[in-house]
A and B are shown apart, each in its own frame.
Chain A
């Protein structure tokens, strides 16, 4: 099932609602890569709170979304990793690398706004 991507000012919010197949995730990656340029987004938020499994493929895809969005000028934040998923990921040695994480949407938006202010000042 495709993931809906919402636009909120200069942010893109992708909210994953159901378990995703590998193809779905690749679709999400391509869609986000295209839209970041189309809407000149400064931030991307990916909500994974509905996922109760996070495997190596999903982790890698999230990483590549974040890195490619970075190249197109948007900061990516993954939100909503549940305690059990976080613990399982660490046990499996999965790592999101330099990708930012936040507890929920609220925190992610606050963080993106802080980020934007720093960029403005710079």
Chain B
């Protein structure tokens, strides 16, 4: 598990482009100078001393927030984040802000996002943490002016960290979204064979250019693989149709025809058909039938099937066992 997470961390670092150059760039963006490093060295000792306390306070602050309840219910994540937070506080005043440092922030960010901590909640707790650190700095400083300058230096590091952690959280979210989109794409374009040489293509949800393309390609290959003669394309699950979508349907039908298959479109709802008429889309090239049942019946007729009703048959499995068995 640890290994898996470490590999995933590496992948995220790569995806985010965390290189020595980009880390240096991030330092420049927050305005970190060698002057600041000197100030941080001055406040190192008290902050390291209080590191455990800060980590505890950070989690305690989250405990007050309802938004973090889900995160805190994950005991393992909480324990791990407490440990990482202590390391974090110590590293923040270490004076070394290289790729390795950035990767540790990345690890923390991934832990938060995996455990479902929202960016806003995290920022709130981090702000509280900064307040505590400022109190420590003020206590140890010779004058308020000095404390202020020291804190500003520390704050730059804090913003450097926030930059990375928020980036990771956003990156993770985007990754989840794109993965879900992929699975939606795969799930909703099945081509089913209902009879020999008769295929059915149920379409559900939104159709965009990309999906329409996948759908058409999938259908064309299925036509060849199953030697289909007729395809019933059911669009009951398509709630919105515009000129573009209608065009995609027409293309699918035309391409299937080139391969010698007839396409019957079924399940155009009242709203959809009215929209199409209002849009002025010419669908005369489409063979449409009201519902799926009608479409299948027509398809059977086209291929030459004749369905005959007989009385219900008792299946073998439901028969009571005979005495000899």
**Co-complex (A, B):** yes
Residues of A at the B interface (CB closer than 8 Å) are 79, 81-87, 89-91, 95-96, 101-104, 107-108
Q: Does B257 count as interface, using CB distance less than 8 angstroms?
A: yes
What is the CA–CA distance of A90 and B248 in the complex, to the nearest angstrom?
A: 10
Interface residues of B in 256-286 (CB under 8 A from A): 256-261
Q: A95 and B254: CB pair below 8 A? A: yes
Interface size on B, residues (CB 8 A): 18
Bound CA–CA A84/B224 (angstroms):
11
Is B223 a contact of A90 with CB atoms below 8 Å? no
Which B residue's beta carbon lies closest to that of A108? B260
Q: For window 1-24 of chain B, which residues contact chain A by CB distance below 8 Å?
A: none
Q: How far, in Å, is A89 (CB) from chain B's closest CB?
A: 6
| Chain B neighbourhood of A86, CB < 8 A | 220, 255-256, 258-259
Whether A101 touches B259, Cβ cut-off 8 Å, given contacts A82-B224, A83-B224, A87-B220, is yes
User: In the bound complex, what is the Cα–Cα distance between A101 and B253 (angstroms)?
Assistant: 13
Q: What's the Cα separation between A107 and B259 when bound, in Å? A: 11
In the complex the two chains form, what is the Cα distance from A103 to B224 in whole Å? 7
Shortest Cβ distance from A85 into B: residue: B258
Contact partners of B193 in chain A: CB under 8 A? none
- A83 contacts B260, C-beta separation under 8 Å: no
**Are the C-beta atoms of B260 and A89 separated by less than 8 Å?**
no
Pairs of residues from A and B, 7 with the lowest C-beta to C-beta distance, nearest first: A83-B220, A102-B260, A86-B258, A86-B255, A103-B260, A90-B255, A90-B251
Q: How far is the CA of A84 from the CA of B221 in the complex (A)?
A: 8
**How far, in whole Å, are A79 and B255 apart by their CA atoms in the complex?**
13
Give every chain B residue within 8 A of A83 (Cβ-Cβ).
217, 220-221, 223-224, 255, 259
Check: B216 CB closer than 8 A to any chain A CB: yes
Q: List 25 A-B contacts (CB under 8 A).
A: A82-B224, A83-B220, A83-B223, A83-B259, A84-B220, A85-B258, A86-B255, A86-B256, A86-B258, A86-B259, A87-B217, A87-B255, A90-B251, A90-B254, A95-B254, A101-B258, A101-B260, A103-B224, A103-B229, A103-B259, A103-B261, A104-B227, A104-B260, A107-B227, A107-B260
CA of A86 to CA of B217, assembled, Å: 9
**Least Cβ distance of B285 to chain A in Å?**
10
Nearest Cβ in chain A — how far from B7, in angstroms?
37
Across the interface, name the chain A residue whose C-beta is closest to B224. Answer: A83
Contacts of B254 in A (CB 8 A): 90, 95
Q: Which residues of B contact A90 (CB under 8 A)?
A: 216, 251, 254-255, 258
Q: Report the Cα distance A104→B254, complex, angstroms.
A: 17
Nearest-CB distance from A118 to chain B (Å)?
Answer: 14
- With contacts A103-B224, A107-B229 taken as known, whether A91 is within 8 angstroms of B259 at the C-beta atoms is no
